[in-house]
Amino acid sequence: MSSPDTQVTAATARPSARPWYRRPWAIALASAVGLLLLGVGCGYWYLSRPDLPEVDTTGLDPAIVEALDKASAEVRRSPQSAKAWGQLGMILVVHDFRTQGEHCLARAESLDPREPRWPYMQALTALVVADADAALPKLKQTVALCGNEPDAPRVRLAEFYLTQSRFDEAELQFRHLLQVNPRHARAHLGLARIAAQRGETRTCLEPLAIAQADKRTRKQALELMAQVQLRMGEEAKAEQTRKAAATLPDDPHWPDPFNDEAIDLQTGKAAWLKRARRFQELGQEAEAFALLRKTVDDYPDADDAWRSLGQFYLKHKNLSAADNALRRACELAPTNHENFYYVGSVRIVQNNTAGAIEWLRQATALKSDFAPAWYNLGNCLYHEKDKTGAIDAYRKAVRLDPNLFLGHLNLGTLLMQDGEDTEALVFARNALALEPADPRAKKLVDSLLARQKR
């Protein structure tokens, strides 16, 4: 039995004190703090969540959709990353979603205001749509950030001022370029243009000589030199310079690493075909071939992909492969005249003129104003001894393309053979006007004039 002094009954026991965290005031305080933290967290999530622009991808090339999805996912993973926003912005811009791209580039710039890429890409986007007011401050901002490294932003700024006839500001930027590289060809070309605009004709000569020596500015420099020589009364020199310029390919784009970085983000069939052409222009044949093969593998039903591959094979005299690729293009697009024209071109290289005539006639039937097909058809018909057909084809070719030198020359020659000297002389003189230094044209004109005298 328990001792009386230790026995406690239920009636006399006092309740024990509650822990502080179980008291009503503590529970209420904890609830309030929890709600406050939840609100702060939701607010932070709302403010920091990526405000991704909406893009309608209906009918878009699947490769472009995939690139956009990956770039958007990266922004969602790292919403405070300027690089992620900038990458998405560039992908949008180069695929013609300019408004959405500008939004992303502006976000990238706000996250990393010291990076010149982001204002520069905004400037290029503004230039594409001829928004001078938006382009200028972004160009100036870019140059302030990167100076002459790379030099393309300052070149664009200087040439922008030049297009606005703000010659003093343009000259200042060109001279900044010359301080780093005294033989900067684009800067010298710019200074020559300024001098020409100011009427300082002879001042153009020295910078133009430097610009002509650089293959990146040679054609534009020769074209301007012809204008300068004409102003100086040197008409013969001007004509000679103009013709020399006409024989040159267009000057290549000035190196622009930031812009090239964006262009390299272009994906899909159209972008790959364009890039393959660029590789070929640069002499990078292996890279071009690999990209063309990838394109036909990924887009096996695209006739333009097969045509481009066929043209590559034709260029490299792989005639069997060219024929297969181009005939595949014809099967995929039986109404596209170019596909048939290039199969005809393969037949010409194979010395199969009868076969070429068949394909070239199909090309002209599909597009009656396609001058190259008519010209080549004329050559083939003449080879097959169909002089009347050849004359008719040449007539159509030069009517459609009046600058077709060989068309005028061949037509004049055949008409002379038929005794149509008066008409033959017209085309012979046309050929000579197009190529004054060509001995064949001169000989044909002289022969016709001599026959007239007899």
The predicted-structure confidence for 213-230, as pLDDT tens digits, reads as follows 999 999 999 999 999 999
Residue 116 covered by a domain:
yes
Q: Which residues contact 132 (CB under 8 A, 6 or more apart)?
A: 126, 160, 164
C-alpha distances in Å from residue 93, one per residue of 100, 301, 333, 420 = 8, 27, 31, 59
pLDDT (average), residues 4-13? 41
Quick check: is 400 in a domain?
no
Q: Does residue 167 belong to any structural domain of this protein? A: yes
Q: Is the pLDDT of residue 118 over 90?
A: yes
Q: Which residues contact 417 (CB under 8 A, 6 or more apart)?
A: 387
Residue-level pLDDT at 45? 38
Gap between the Cα atoms of 46 and 32, Å rounded: 21
Q: What is the CA radius of gyration of the chain?
A: 36
Q: Is 15 part of a structural domain of the chain?
A: no
One-letter amino acid at 432 equals L
Model confidence at 319: pLDDT above 70: yes
The answer, yes or no, to whether residue 391 has pLDDT greater than 70, is: yes
- In this structure, is residue 157 part of a structural domain? yes
The arithmetic mean of pLDDT across residues 43-52, rounded, is 56
Kindly tell me if the per-residue pLDDT of 236 is higher than 80. Answer: yes
Residue 275: what residue type? R
Helix (H, G, I), strand (E, B) or coil at 361: helix
Residue 101 in this model has a pLDDT that exceeds 50 = yes
Does the pTM surpass 0.85? The reply is no
CB atoms within 10 A of CB 264: 12
Q: How many domains does the chain have?
A: 1
- Asked if 67 and 87 count as a contact pair (C-beta separation under 8 A), the reply is no
Instruction: Flag whether pLDDT at 23 surpasses 90.
Output: no
CA separation for the pair 90, 235 (Å, rounded)? 48
- Mean per-residue pLDDT, 40-64: 73
In this prediction, residues 336-362 reach a mean pLDDT of: 97
* 9 domain-assigned: no
Whether the pLDDT of residue 102 is over 90: the answer is yes
The whole domain housing 109 covers 62-246
pLDDT surpassing 50 at residue 191: yes
The model's confidence at residue 51, banded by pLDDT at 50, 70 and 90, is confident
Does residue 150 surpass a pLDDT of 90? yes
Does residue 422 form part of some domain?
Answer: no
286 and 294 in contact (C-beta within 8 Å)? no
Mean confidence (pLDDT) of the chain:
91
pLDDT at site 11: 41
**Alpha carbons 263 and 247: distance in angstroms, whole number:** 29
Least confident window among 19-23, 300-304, 363-367, 409-413? 19-23
Q: Residue 212 belongs to a domain with what CATH number?
A: 1.25.40.10
In whole angstroms, what is the distance from residue 155 CA to residue 120 CA? 12
Side chain identity at 167, as an amino acid letter?
F
Average pLDDT over residues 160-184: 97
Q: Which of 44-58, 264-278, 437-451 has the lowest mean pLDDT?
A: 44-58
Distance, CA of 10 to CA of 22 (rounded, Å): 24
Those residues with Cβ within 8 angstroms of residue 142's Cβ, 6 or more apart along the chain or in another chain: 116, 119, 120, 123, 153, 157
Residue 179: per-residue pLDDT: 97
Distance CA 172, CA 110 (A): 29
Indicate the pLDDT class of residue 32, thresholds 50, 70 and 90.
low
Q: What amino acid is encoded at 415 in this protein?
A: L
